[in-house]
Every structure is written in C-alpha cells, then in structure tokens.
Amino acid sequence: MRVRFAPSPTGYLHVGGARTALFNWLLARREGGTFVLRVEDTDQMRNRDEHTEAILHGMRWLGIDWDEGPFFQSEGRERHAAEARRLLAEGLAYRDFSDPAEVRAEAEARGMHPSRVARERAEAMGADEAEARVTAGEPFAIRFRVPDGETRFTDLVHGDMRFGNEDVDDLVILRGDGTPVYNLAVVSDDHDMAITHVLRGDDHLSNTPKQVLLYRALGYAEPVFGHVPLILGADGKRLSKRHGATAVGDYEALGILPEAMVNFLALLGWNPGDEREVMTREELVEAFTPDRILKKSSIFDLEKLSWLNGRHLAATPTARLAPEVRRMIGANIGDAASALDETWLGKLIDLLKVRARTVREIAEQAVPYLIDDFPYETEAMAKHWERDPETTAGRLEGLSAALAESEWTEDALEGALRGLAERSGVGAGKLIHPLRVALTGQAASPGIFEVLVLLGRSRSLERIGRALVRLRTPA
C-alpha cells in the first residue's frame, strides 16, 4: 500500500487538509504502507513558500511523519507535458486552437458545453491545416477527448459510483503556454509514485471520473479512491473562519496538545466502532479501517476538542508540559517565572493539569500560587465570605491557629481541620470554602490539603492573615 497527501501550498494547513493527511497516515501505518508527501505547487499565482513551510510545520506538530518526499509537483512538468503529447499522438486528445471567449459564446448560443464546441472545431479542421498552424507557431491547448459511455469506479466510502461521460467535459490537459493542468498532473504523479490508494476530500469527487478516464487512456492501473465527507461548522454550514480557527497552527497557539488534535481529527467522520473516544495515536493506528469512514458530513465541535484536550492533558507527563507552562506563565508574571523551582512547578502542574483543558488554562490557573497579592474573585467572595464576614473571619482565625500547630502534611492538616470543625459544630465545608478563597482567591481549586502542602506553612498562614485583614476592613 502506498498513499499520499498532496496539499496545494496556497494557504495554511486547514483542519480539513490535516484530517485528509491523518487518514492517509493512519491507513499507511496500520497496513505497514508508505506515506508520501507531495506538494502540488503548480498554481504559480497562489503558491507561497511560507505556505509550504506552514503545512510541513503543521504535519510535524501533529506527528504525521512522511516516508517519502516532500516531492514537488512542478518537478514533473516535463513528464506531464510528455503524457499530454502522447495522448495527442495516440488520437486520444486533440489540439484546441480556438479562442476561449469565442467558444464560450458559441456554446452558450447553442446550449452546449464549451469543450464540445472545441471538439467540433478540432474535428472540422483538416490534418493539413492543423500542421500548418502548428508550424506557424500558433499556440494551442491539448484537450482530452472524453469517450462515450459511462465511467464507474468503486469508492471506499461511497461504494459504486457511476458518471455519464456526456456530463464530463473534454478537459484541457496541457495549456497553450505549455503548463499542465491539475487533473493530468495528479494522475501522472500518482502513477509515477505508484500510489495504490487515494483518500481525499469529497470536494474532489467530481474530478475522479476525469482522472479515471485519464488513467485508462494512458494505460495505467488506477488506484483505489476514497472520498471523505466535508467538515461542517456547528450550524451545519461548511466549516469556515466564521466558525473560529480553521488553521491547525491556531490550535497549536491556543495550547491544544497534538495528541488531542490528532484524536479529534480522527473522530471527524470516522469512529472505532465501539464506545471509545479518548484514544492515543497508537490506539488510532490499531483501530483505523477506512470502512468506518462515515458517508455523511461531520460537525466540528470545539467543545469536544476542548474536552479531549483536557483528557490528554491529564495523561501527559508533567515534565513535558513544564517548559510551555513556564513560558506562558512568563507572559503573566514576568521574570519571576524563570526563577521558579523546577520541582515545585512540577507539583503545581500535577495538581492543575487534571482539571484544566488547555496548557494556557494551567498557566492562568497557576497565577494565584505564584504571586502573593493575587486578586480575590468577586463571585468566590460573595459566595463564601461576604454572607457573614465576621463569622467567616472568626472561623478562619481559629483555623489558622489549628493549622499552625499541625504537622504540615496532607493527612495531619486534614485531621486538624476536621477536628476543629467537629469541636465547633460546623460542617467541614464551612471551613474549607472560605479557606480556599483565602489561599487562591477562587471558588474552585485542587484539593485544599494538597494546596496547603504546595504553598507551605508560612505562605499559607500569611495568606489567611491577608484574608482576615480584607474581611475585617469595612468596604
């Protein structure tokens, strides 16, 4: 099995393109096949080197590695042109000297397809006249003569496909300026690279009968085709920038993990046939079979991406997250970030990563643990402090004294807090919630005893002291 990903470098790596690349890659890895990367750079007007770079970067980030390439379609120009001339020599294609605007006008007047008008004109022209015009240096395009009948192929996703050839136009295969056209170049390259399976987006489905006809005319065995349905936004419309980020690179910048992105992309239009959703790269490779690619479009659900990211984040070794978290923390607290103790930061990340959905969230949630004058969230104060500030202050004061006498371990601190709650006849929550606001400024945090241990004795007691001042200062 040999598969390929054939992006056109006319933009960044779009999530649709990334999914196409991933499906091909999964298929190759599962079957022990070869994954070829071919950059289709024949659109001189729209190609940019930086787009090629962005596409390769996106693939590397996702961990979609290629076995051969990157090849560039432009390297095959001579071969493409030679194949067009071969079809011409064999009578399977014809020269089109006509002026496109004139042909269009005639086609419209006669209610025909322009390529059939061009064909008529070519057939009406004697061989001598054609030779004379060629000798005179007149430019001409080469058009493929679509045979009568119908074209069938079996699609891996959609099953048996049939197209009436009368609906397929006589496509140009070599332009007047000698440059080849996508449909010929892609057939020539896929044959040259011995590609056995072409998995690509549904937007290419209308090209496939043309390509199948070209394979047959050139005498080449055609690959197996599979067309993957579109990706839609939550509103059911084709995914576009209106729905949010569509470039893979944007998700990298947002702190999405490549494992989560790969998992998410794999589930866009495919499923493993069981209940699993959170899957590693290895599990995906093992489970991927193209017969479970869905025929209907899939919805790009950002909420699901975020959830999957949280699941993968929790499973990611802290040591791998730490450099990125430190970098992002730096944006929030400046130079102090680089001075943070590695082990301590690791413990903080351990606590935060199980609840966060992105690396960015970890970095944001880390702030109150890093600076002592962190803000108190209004809602947290309203809920846990302000209903009765004096009682709250009294409880925190008692708690501070009890904790100060405790050994500073999770178990001992928990014992001290619960003992105090019991002696005072209040539920432990009446102490824990105000304490959490005092230590973190927030209503939600990792387990409070873990937080106490992480902050250490003196910082924890100082924070309770700061809360007492705040609670006893008239607003």
Q: Which residue in this structure is represented by tokens 């007492």?
A: 468
Read off the tokens for 404.
């100060």
Read off the tokens for 45.
């007007």
Contact pattern for ligand GLU over residues 132 through 171, marking x by CB under 6 A: ----------------------------------------
| By CB under 6 A, residue 248 contacts ligand GLU | no
Burial class (CB in 10 A: 0-12, 13-18, 19+), 160: exposed
| By CB under 6 A, residue 9 contacts ligand GLU | no
Please state the closest distance from residue 323 (CB atom) to ligand GLU, in A: 34
Query: Where do the DSSP E strands lie in 209-316?
Result: 224-228, 231-232, 298-299
| By CB under 6 A, residue 40 contacts ligand GLU | yes
Q: At what angle do helices 429-440 and 389-405 cross, to 10 degrees?
A: 90
Binds ligand GLU by CB under 6 A, chosen from 8, 183, 309, 445: 8
Please state the closest distance from residue 244 (CB atom) to ligand GLU, in A: 22
Output phi, psi for 247, to 5 deg. -95, 135
341-400: contacts with ligand GLU (CB under 6 A):
none
Spell out the residues 6+ positions from residue 77 whose beta carbon is closer than 8 angstroms to its own: 42, 179, 180
Nearer to ligand GLU (CB atom), residue 186 or residue 464: 186
Dist. CA 106–CA 272, nearest whole Å: 53
Binds ligand GLU by CB under 6 A, chosen from 6, 37, 81, 187: 6
Read off the tokens for 322.
């730490």
| By CB under 6 A, residue 191 contacts ligand GLU | no
Nearer to ligand GLU (CB atom), residue 40 or residue 259: 40
Rg (CA), the chain: 32
Q: Is 383 a catalytic residue?
A: no
| By CB under 6 A, residue 228 contacts ligand GLU | no
3-class secondary structure, 157:
coil
| By CB under 6 A, residue 7 contacts ligand GLU | yes
Site stretch for ligand GLU (CB under 6 A), options 1-9, 235-243, 305-313, 413-421: 1-9
Site stretch for ligand GLU (CB under 6 A), options 5-13, 93-101, 137-145, 450-458: 5-13
Which listed residue (210, 237, 241, 295) is catalytic?
Answer: 241
Binds ligand GLU by CB under 6 A, chosen from 204, 210, 353, 463: 204
- Contact status, residue 144 vs residue 92, Cβ threshold 8 Å: yes
Binds ligand GLU by CB under 6 A, chosen from 186, 247, 435, 438: 186
Q: Which residue in this structure is represented by tokens 């606590």?
A: 351
Spell out the residues 6+ positions from residue 155 whose beta carbon is closer than 8 angstroms to its own: 161, 205, 208, 225, 226, 227
Q: Which residue in this structure is represented by tokens 């549904």?
A: 202
> Where does this chain bind ligand GLU (CB under 6 A)?
6-8, 40, 186, 200, 204
Catalytically annotated residues: 241
